[in-house]
Chains A and B, each alone.
Chain A
Amino acid sequence: MTDAAGRPRMGLWRRIRHHGGELALTAPSFLWMTFFFVVPTAIVFMLTFRPTAVDGGIGTGWTLETWKTISNPNYPSIVWRTIWLSVVATALSIGIALPCAFAMARTSAKWRSVLVGLVILPFWTSFLIRVFAWKNLLHPQAALARALHTDLGAAGFLALQDVMLFALLFGAGCLSVFLLNSWRMSSTARGKAACAALLAATVAGALWCAKLWIAFASARIGAGVCSIVPPGAPLLYNSLAILVVMVYTYLPFAILPLYAAAEKFDFALLEAALDLGARPVRAFVNVFVPGVKAGIYSAVLMVLIPALGSYVIPDMVGGPDAEMIGSKIYQRAIPDRNLPHASALSALLMLGVLVPPGIAWLVFRRRHIGATETDVVRSLGSSSNMGNSGGRRRREGGAS
């Protein structure tokens, strides 16, 4: 018996014997993941089909009641806010972390350890205390808020929203240029498709930012005051406050994996890029950024996943108008004692996290297969040419 590749097929027992060592080594983590990750996840999904008991527990029998009541009109906006806040926080964290990691990897060994120490220093203080500190900083009576609310007259036209928006648009512009450029620099169908998809997302994000800005600007014109932040618009208890605190909190989680990747990066490649005519910024985005791709992936996971599930930050600086799904899950599970409902929200969040990457993976895997096939055909075609026209063989023939 042979499998598709022509290797003899092994019986199960032989295969277990063959991989015995690996199995023994991975068994503990496999069991751990099964009992403390897969089983609880299954339980969460199961609970969504259970009725609620009047005393706050879980009733017997099966029902779809929870899934019907979950179509609360508040939820779509909360889910949407959760997603955009998390995605923007992730993008900002990585945008800030990339140059940091680059600079850290380029300094001398002595400074490097100092800088890594500084990055992880905040962890020595309790997370709650640090969020409380932000509450004080952003409080309406704090110096920051008063300064930002001062009427600046004509100078106030460069208000915070504008600056932020221009920064965001500038970032989106840079990203688009980078993506367009990567699209030009890559010749595989897979690479081009990935660039095109990310480019579409970037443009959509930029358009949405522009829409927000129009709303801000008209509100400011309506109020007739030109301060950096419009009067009556608090710094605390809104989405912006959540964003600031999230970026602050998750930045180390972006810096550390990127720094680990940057440390392994071969900086001679940057010199090679300069040598081939790239300006320094171009060399950074076209050679350094793809070179730490693995670090970017893990930074995305390290920031996006906790950001999507965060509930302490929206609870403390978000307020009732800027809730995230994490805080809703907390409300359903603890004060309301409605476990099926909380489970359903968790399941929704999990699906929301897993489905888009799953689709992307399926799409790109297919594209990739397509690309390899054409590559094979192409290479076959040209290598068969080579046999006839290669200068070497003819020269040898002529010599003998």
Chain B
Amino acid sequence: MDDFLVFKGVTKRFGAMTAVDDVTFNVKRGEFFSLLGPSGCGKTTLLRMLAGFERPDAGRIFLDGKDVTAMPPDKRRVNTVFQNYALFPHLTLWDNIAFGLRLQRRPKDEIEERVRRMLRLIQMEGQEWKKPTQISGGQKQRVAIARALVLEPQVLLLDEPLAALDLKLRQHMQIELDRIHDQVGITFLYVTHDQGEAMSLSDRIAVMNRGKVEQIDKPAALYEAPRSSFVAAFIGDTNFFEGTVTKLVDENYCRVSVEDFGEIVCFNDKHIKAGAKVYLSVRPEKMHLTHEKPADLHGGKVNVYECTVDQKIYQGAYTRFWVWRGASKDDCWELSVMQVHNRYLLDQQEIGWDEKVWLSWHADDGFMLESYAEQDEAMLPHPTEEASDAGAAPAPAPAPAGAADAEAAK
């Protein structure tokens, strides 16, 4: 059951570059499994190897116990929903959906029955005599899904199926996809570079980076307990700290000394010994800013530091702050904090630019990373330079910053 679909050490090279590098993972039967990663990390290549359009240079792929590595695409019970739909323009929607069944030489009334059932599933009854050019993108999308699903594949492959749709339609199609997956119970292997999409749809997600799988987990585990700086930065925003374990507080907590910042109490489920160098990740929404120093420190489990507000951007549901702590503004730690509003206008005293504030977070919300790469900091949003110089009106949404900003953040 656990090894319905197995990738085992799969590697694919195009000339000198390795598109997929020694990838190993299992997908359960009926699971909604996503491959998430930035553009060019090898998601499509991985999918094409399962569909049979590319041969791996090394490794094997097993489907339901059978080795399908060298099987031609027409022999595999795997069907793909292509990124650009690839509907046959010369056939009606009905004929598009019936294409695979007719190739299998199914009896006529069975074809009729199954195509009709699919049309009902994608809620496109009454439009089956149109040609693909006569329907909208979202409808094409649904027909492409129906065309693949009608063959009852062992795995349905979806390659960024919603990438070409606008935001509203994308949200609508996410719900549709979820509904279809619940109704048919087929294993879905879903490729996307949209983390929100992956989080809301998937049972499990494999995060890929440069051809390698970084982490495979349930969406919540991926967000709350990222194992590498890449996963932490790619899914959502975060703050990284580099420090040394100075002291084990008790069984589960330790103190980490961070240069120019202070001591951080941190959850230590990996039982790191004192003296080890560690990297921490703390999500901005887990941090709080207050005018007064928080009174209740939960027996030393809450980290409290005095900081200065660098910038704030009001964003409706929350306000995003950049605060700094250190010797001077040019040589400091710059942190991103997301403050959700409660009774904002009534009794919360507004925090302004350049004010001294208290930053606090609970030790359980800090997370030790297993691996850290400095270039991953470039993925984090940073305050814009002009805004911090001018110190004036709220800046627009922060643009992804280059290496210079990553340097400044330390």
Q: How far is the CA of A266 from the CA of B95 in the complex (A)?
A: 19
Q: A277-B103, A277-B104, A383-B125 are in contact. Are A272 and B82 (CB under 8 A)?
A: yes
Interface flags, A365-400, vs B, CB<8A=1, else 0: 000000000010011101101100011100000000
Known contacts A272-B86, A279-B74; is-contact A187 B99 (Cβ 8 Å): no
A390 and B121 CA atoms in complex are apart in Å by: 10
Contact with A along B85-122 (1 / 0, CB 8 A): 01111111011001110111000000000000000000
B129:A379 contact, CB within 8 angstroms? yes
B125 touches A386 (CB 8 A): yes
Query: Is there a chain A Cβ closer than 8 Å to B151's Cβ?
Result: yes
- Which chain B residues border A269 with CB–CB below 8 Å? 86, 88-89
Q: Please name all residues of chain B whose beta carbon is closer than 8 Å to the beta carbon of A187 when the two chains form the complex.
A: 92, 94-95, 98
**Cβ–Cβ < 8 Å partners of B72 in chain A:** 274
* A168 interface residue (CB < 8 Å to B): no
Q: Given the complex, which residues of A lie within 8 Å of B100, measured CB to CB?
A: 276-277
Give Cα A266–Cα B98 distance, bound, in whole angstroms: 21
Q: Are B88 and A272 in contact (CB under 8 A)?
A: yes
Chain A 254-277 against B: per-residue CB contact (8 Å), 1 yes, 0 no? 000000000000101101111111
User: A382 to B74, Cβ gap below 8 A?
Assistant: no
Q: Are B90 and A293 in contact (CB under 8 A)?
A: yes
Q: How far is the CA of A272 from the CA of B100 in the complex (A)?
A: 10
CB of A20 closer than 8 Å to a CB of B: no
At the interface, yes or no: B238 with Cβ under 8 Å from chain A?
no
Given A187-B95, A268-B86, A275 and B126 touching (CB < 8 A)? no
Whether A290 contacts B90 by the Cβ 8 Å rule is: yes
Query: Size range of the interface on A?
Result: 20 to 34
CB-CB under 8 A from A287, the residues of chain B are 88
Interface residues of B in 246-265 (CB under 8 A from A): none
Answer whether A375 and B125 are a contact pair too, CB < 8 Å, given A276-B100, A278-B74.
no
Which partner residue on chain B sits nearest A184 by CB separation? B102
> Is B53 an interface position by the 8 A CB rule?
yes
Q: Contacts A287-B88, A379-B129 given; indicate if A275 touches B103 (C-beta within 8 A).
A: no
Separation of A380 and B94 alpha carbons in the complex (Å): 16
Q: B78 to chain A: which residues have CB within 8 Å?
A: 275
A201 in the interface (beta carbon within 8 A):
no
CB contact under 8 A between A268 and B126, given known A184-B102, A187-B94, A276-B100 = no
Which A231-287 residues sit within 8 Å CB-CB of chain B? 266, 268-269, 271-280, 282, 287
A186 at the interface (CB under 8 A from B): yes
Closest residue of chain A to B99 (Cβ to Cβ) is A276
A277 touches B74 (CB 8 A): yes
What residues on B are CB-neighbors of A41 within 8 Å? none
Determine if A274 and B74 form an interchain contact, defined as CB atoms under 8 angstroms apart: yes
Closest CB of chain A to B76's CB: distance in Å?
9
- Complex contacts, A275 vs chain B, CB 8 Å: 51-52, 73-74, 78-80, 148
Interface pair B79/A276, CB less than 8 Å apart: yes
Task: Give the distance in Å from the alpha carbon of A202 to the alpha carbon of B148 in the complex.
Answer: 34
- Contact indicator B129/A378 (Cβ below 8 Å): yes
- Interface positions, chain B 354-397, Cβ under 8 Å from A, are none
B123 interface residue per 8 A CB criterion? yes
Which residues of the partner chain A approach B98 to less than 8 Å between Cβ atoms? 185, 187
Q: Binary interface profile of B, 144-179, with partner A (CB < 8 Å = 1, else 0)?
A: 000110010000000000000000000000000000
> CA–CA, A385 to B147, complex, Å?
23
Q: Once the chains bind, are A291 and B90 in contact (CB under 8 Å)?
A: yes
| Chain A positions within 8 Å of B129 at CB level | 188, 375, 378-379
For residue A345, give the distance in angstroms from its CB to the closest CB of chain B: 39
Is there contact, CB below 8 Å, between A282 and B82?
Answer: no
State the CA gap A387–B201 with chains docked (Å): 29
- B75: nearest residue on chain A (CB-CB)? A277
Bound form: Cα–Cα A187–B102 in Å? 12
Q: Which of A277, A278, A392 has the most CB of B within 10 A?
A: A277
Tell me the bound Cα distance from A266 to B147 in angstroms: 18
Q: How far is the CA of A272 from the CA of B91 in the complex (A)?
A: 13
**Known contacts A184-B102, A185-B102, A187-B95: A392-B123 contact under CB 8 Å:** yes
**With A266-B86, A274-B73, A287-B88 in contact, is A379–B127 under 8 Å at CB?**
yes
Residues of A close to B92: CB separation below 8 A: 187-188
Interfacial chain B residues near A280, Cβ < 8 Å: 74
* B84 on interface, CB distance cutoff 8 Å: yes
| B73, B89, B123, B147, most chain A CB atoms within 10 A | B73
Residues of A within 8 A of B80 (CB): 271-272, 275
**Residue picked from B79, B80, B92, B129, most chain A C-beta under 10 Å:** B129
B181 to chain A, nearest CB (A): 16
Q: List the B side residues contacting A185 at CB < 8 Å.
A: 91, 95, 98-99, 102
Does the CB pair A276–B103 fall under 8 Å?
A: yes
Within the complex, what minimum Cβ distance (angstroms) separates A327 from chain B?
A: 40
Indicate whether A271 sits within 8 Å of B95 (C-beta atoms), given known contacts A278-B103, A291-B90, A293-B90.
no
* Interchain CB contact under 8 A, A186 and B91: yes
The answer to whether B89 and A291 touch across the interface, beta carbons within 8 angstroms, is: yes
B148 neighbours in A (Cβ, 8 Å): 275-276
Docked complex Cα distance between A379 and B103 (Å):
26
A residues near B125, Cβ cutoff 8 Å? 382-383, 385-386
Picked from B73, B79, B126, the residue with its CB within 8 Å of the CB of A386 is B126
Rounded to whole angstroms, the CA-CA distance of A269 and B79 in the bound complex is: 13
What is the bound-complex CA distance between A178 and B74, given in angstroms?
Answer: 19
Question: 1/0 per position for B321-356, CB-CB distance to A under 8 A?
Answer: 000000000000000000000000000000000000
Give Cα A121–Cα B175 distance, bound, in whole angstroms.
58
Which A130-147 residues have a C-beta within 8 angstroms of B?
A: none
Shortest CB-to-CB span from A18 to chain B, Å, is 28
Bound-complex Cα distance A268 to B79 (A): 14
Q: Give Cα distance in the complex from A307 to B135, angstroms.
A: 42
Q: How far in angstroms is the closest Cβ of chain A from B192?
A: 19
Nearest chain A residue, comparing its CB with the CB of B108: A184
Expressed in whole angstroms, the minimum distance between the Cβ of B198 and any Cβ of chain A is 23
- Please, how many angstroms separate the alpha-carbon atoms of A266 and B83 in the complex? 13
Within 8 Å CB of B94, what residues of A? 187
Given A266-B86, A272-B86, A276-B79, A379-B73 contact (CB < 8 Å):
no
Q: Is the CB of B53 within 8 A of A271?
A: yes
A367 to B: closest C-beta gap in Å: 15
B126 and A186 within 8 A (CB): no
Instruction: Kindly provide the distance from the CB of B43 to the nearest chain A CB, expressed in whole angstroms.
Output: 17
Instruction: Kindly list chain A residues whose C-beta atoms are within 8 Å of the C-beta of B103.
Output: 276-278, 282
| Chain B minimum-CB-distance residue to A274 | B73
A-B CB contact pairs (8 Å), 17 listed: A186-B95, A188-B92, A266-B86, A268-B84, A268-B86, A269-B86, A271-B73, A271-B82, A271-B86, A272-B88, A273-B99, A274-B73, A276-B74, A276-B147, A277-B103, A277-B151, A379-B126
A: residues with CB less than 8 A from B are: 184-188, 266, 268-269, 271-280, 282, 287, 290-291, 293, 375, 378-380, 382-383, 385-386, 390-392
Partner-A contacts on B (CB < 8 A): 51-53, 72-74, 78-80, 82, 84, 86-92, 94-95, 98-100, 102-104, 123, 125-129, 147-148, 151
Known A268-B84, A379-B126, A380-B126; 14 more pairs at CB < 8 Å = A188-B92, A271-B73, A271-B86, A272-B80, A272-B82, A272-B87, A274-B52, A275-B148, A276-B100, A278-B103, A287-B88, A382-B125, A383-B127, A386-B123
Closest 6 CB pairs of A and B: A383-B126, A276-B100, A272-B86, A290-B90, A382-B126, A375-B129
